[in-house]
């Protein structure tokens, strides 16, 4: 079978390639990250008014506290897009008179997530981790999803220029799907993370989290986040991100089944799309 990759996947692949190429030749002494806390906030907002009415809001915040051999981080995010629900129309109010009705703005997409991670170094470059991920994804018909994961990780390279880490562990998923209802199952988690600074003021990151189920081999899920940021000053940067969400066994949705003439005769359940892609440009504030 031949075909094109989704545009978001192509952009993410290009981001990773740029990151690896830029960091491969860079050398720098070990980054002595001191204990303490840090916070990074990303904000994006797009508004259209007039003949078109639409707005989109994006928010992501990562708070972290680091000890000498451990780190605790909390990531939360919200993406919301809304637009005019249909076009304007006119209603007769009196003979020869009419009024223009403006349709309301309806939420098209909304996704919220919260992730807590604890990581502790145990020996050399090896560590153990525990994660709690909570997601609500309305376009994907996921009313609630909670994933608990724990396992071991390895940091293959760690410097001020390039950091590469992988991890592997077991997981437990408790999710409530709009059509199927509640599902609970054990599984496994695989992860890789790459952070690079190919030039002064430029940072590139790539993270992939993949979850599988022990109950059903085809039930695979992945969250792939790639970003490039360019610093304006020591605390503010412009950041572009591509997030690709993949679900090999997508949730179901209920559709109205109708005849060619438009007469409804019942309903059918069909799967949602396998891939969701979001591309954002944000103002990142760090302190």
Asked if residue 44 belongs to a domain, the reply is yes
Q: State pLDDT tens for residues 183-214.
A: 999 999 999 999 999 999 999 999 999 999 99
Tell me the per-residue pLDDT of 131-183, one tens digit each, with 9 for 90 and over. 999 999 988 999 999 999 999 999 999 998 999 999 999 999 999 999 999 99
Determine how many CB atoms are found less than 10 A away from the CB of residue 231: 16
Task: Please check whether residue 2 lies inside any domain of the structure.
Answer: no
Q: Is residue 259 part of a domain?
A: yes
Distances (CA, A) of 270 to 153, 177, 222, 247: 38, 13, 21, 14
- In this structure, what token pair is assigned to residue 12? 């993410």
In a domain, 211, yes or no: yes
Task: Quote the pLDDT of residue 97.
Answer: 87
| Number of domains into which the chain is organized | 1
The stretches in the chain having pLDDT less than 50 are 1-32
Instruction: Judge whether 57 lies within some domain.
Output: yes
- HEC letters along the chain: CCCCCCHHHHHHHHHHHHHHHHHHCCCCCCCCCCCEEEEEEEEEEEEECCCCCEEEEEEEEEEEEECCCEEEEEEEEEEEEEEECCCCEEEEEECCEEEEECCCEEEEEEEEEEEEEEEEEEECCEEEEEEEEEEEECCCCEEEEEEEEEEEEEEEEECCCEEEEEEEEEEEEEEEECCCEEEEEEEEEEEEEEEEEEECCEEEEEEEEEEEECCCCCCEEEEEEEEEEEECCCCEEEEEEEEEEEECCCCEEEEEEECCCCCEEEEEEEECCCEEEEEEEEEEEEC
CA 205 vs CA 56, 67, 98, 239: distances in Å: 24, 22, 56, 11
Residue span of the structural domain in which 40 resides: 7-286
pTM: 0.80
- Rounded Cα distance, 14 and 20, in Å: 10
Within-domain flag for 1? no
Q: Is residue 60 part of a domain?
A: yes
- Is 14 domain-assigned? yes
Contact 46, 79 (CB under 8 A): no
Check which CATH number belongs to the domain holding 208 and give it.
2.40.160.40
């Amino acid at each position: 079978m031949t075909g094109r990759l989704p545009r978001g996947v192509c952009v993410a692949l290009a981001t990773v390639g740029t990151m690896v190429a830029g960091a491969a030749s860079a050398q720098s002494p070990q980054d002595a990250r001191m204990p303490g806390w840090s916070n990074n906030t990303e904000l994006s907002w797009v508004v259209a008014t007039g003949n078109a009415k639409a707005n989109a809001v994006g928010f992501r915040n990562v708070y972290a506290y680091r000890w000498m051999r451990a780190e605790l981080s909390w990531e939360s995010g919200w993406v919301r897009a809304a637009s005019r629900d249909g076009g304007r129309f006119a209603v007769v109010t009196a003979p020869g008179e009419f009024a223009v009705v403006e349709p309301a703005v309806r939420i098209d997409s909304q996704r919220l997530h919260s992730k807590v991670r604890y990581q502790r170094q145990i020996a050399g470059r090896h560590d153990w981790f525990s994660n709690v991920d909570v997601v609500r994804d309305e376009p994907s018909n996921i009313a609630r999803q909670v994933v608990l994961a724990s396992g071991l990780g390895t940091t293959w390279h760690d410097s001020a220029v390039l950091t590469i880490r992988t991890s592997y562990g077991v997981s437990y998923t408790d999710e409530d799907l709009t059509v199927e209802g509640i599902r609970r199952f054990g599984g496994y988690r695989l992860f890789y993370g790459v952070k690079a600074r190919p030039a002064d003021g430029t940072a590139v990151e790539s993270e992939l989290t993949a979850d599988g189920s022990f109950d059903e081999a085809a039930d695979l899920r992945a969250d792939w986040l790639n970003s490039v940021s360019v610093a304006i000053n020591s605390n503010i940067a412009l950041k572009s991100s591509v997030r690709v969400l993949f679900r090999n066994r997508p949730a179901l949705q209920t559709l109205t089944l109708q005849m060619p003439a438009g007469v409804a005769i019942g309903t059918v359940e069909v799967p949602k799309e396998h891939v969701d892609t979001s591309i954002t440009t944000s103002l990142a504030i760090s302190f």
